[in-house]
Amino acid sequence: QKEVEQNSGPLSVPEGAIASLNCTYSDRGSQSFFWYRQYSGKSPELIMFIYSNGDKEDGRFTAQLNKASQYVSLLIRDSQPSDSATYLCAVNKGDYKLSFGAGTTVTVRA
């Protein structure tokens, strides 16, 4: 079993719609979770982090965490063409050593 799994994608959504990204993790003891956005050819940039069960909102982004189900999700509301990228889910294994999923590529259609 992989440490972090993401829905494989690619995910194509029309402009203005909600993009929903899912991630599951295997280590029940994991405490902190991150979403990074990576444009083609560029390094990942941190867009959201979440430590507690429930929802966390930041602008058009909402992260959701359910530790009992070992599940993290990211919602992108009012999707824009500039949101087209690969989204990486990461789990802190301790000492901030991150384990990453393979990523989900999102394409927002104008």
Total number of residues that touch other proteins (CB under 8 A): 21
Report if residue 44 touches other proteins, rule: CB under 8 A: yes
| CA-based end-to-end distance of the chain | 37
Residue placing its CB nearer to other proteins in the complex, 19 or 23: 23
Q: DSSP letter string over the chain?
A: --SEEE----EEEETTS-EEEEEEES-TT---EEEEEE-TTS--EEEEEE-SSEEEEETTEEEEEETTTTEEEEEESS--GGG-EEEEEEEE-STT-EEE---EEEEEE-
Residue placing its CB nearer to other proteins in the complex, 79 or 90: 90
Interacting stretch for other proteins, rule CB under 8 A, among 18-26, 40-48, 53-61, 62-70? Answer: 40-48
How far is it, in rounded angstroms, from Cα 109 to Cα 64? 25
Interacting stretch for other proteins, rule CB under 8 A, among 9-17, 42-50, 52-60, 62-70? Answer: 42-50
Report if residue 29 touches other proteins, rule: CB under 8 A: no
Report if residue 18 touches other proteins, rule: CB under 8 A: no
Residues that bind other proteins (CB under 8 A): 4, 32, 34, 36, 42-46, 49, 88, 90, 95-103
